[in-house]
Amino acid sequence: MVLYISIELSLVVFLVCSLFYKLTEKPGMPQNRIHEQLSRKRTGTSFADLHEWMCGSKLTCKEYEQRHTIINILDNIPYVRKRWGETGVQEYLYHFHDDFERNKAIRLTNFFMKLPLVRSILKSTAIIYDFMAYLFISK
């Protein structure tokens, strides 16, 4: 009974954590394709060139920092408005919102992973899974 509860709890913890934080992506900022999907959902347009301008692979560190620093938002809005219009300004601001939400999810996941109960459940479940795999493989 305890084994079953431990496995169930660990699966719940794993699912919650994987919903908030995909391990295949860079921690911190969503990838451009995620920004584009969210833009398409909000406006019908992906604004791929806007998101590429914000955090493309060809940017220098200085350009990237300048475009992602909150105090520079007002300095960048005239350029964004001229190039992509009012909807582009909206998506420029949502880009920051999406980055913030992503970081909030990572912080929440890290908080859960630091809880002693969650860590002990994951450790015990990993041992149980290893033992079960050993039993099935050895047969």
The token pair that represents 31 in the structure block: 């990838």
Q: What letter represents residue 135's amino acid?
A: L
Helix axes 32-43, 48-55, angle to 10 degrees: 140
Give the distance from CA 66 to its chain's centroid. 22
* pLDDT values of the chain reduced to their tens digit, one per residue, 139 residues: 444 444 455 555 555 555 544 443 444 456 888 889 999 999 999 999 999 999 888 888 888 888 888 888 999 999 999 999 999 999 999 998 888 888 777 777 777 777 777 667 766 666 655 655 555 565 4
Q: How many domains does the chain have?
A: 1
Per-residue DSSP letter, 26: P
The token pair that represents 20 in the structure block: 């908030």
Q: Which of 57, 31, 59, 60 is nearest to 46 (CA)?
A: 31
Q: Which domain holds residue 33?
A: 2-138
Q: What is the pTM of this model?
A: 0.58
What is the b/e burial string over 62-79, where b = at least 16 CB atoms within 10 angstroms of the residue's CB?
eeeeebbeeeeeeebeee
Distance CA 33, CA 22 (A): 14
Judged by phi (left if over 0) then psi (alpha if -120 to 50, else beta), residue 20 lies in: alpha
Q: What letter represents residue 58's amino acid?
A: K
- The whole-number pLDDT of residue 103 equals 79
- List alpha helices for the chain, DSSP H: 2-20, 32-43, 48-55, 61-68, 73-114, 116-138
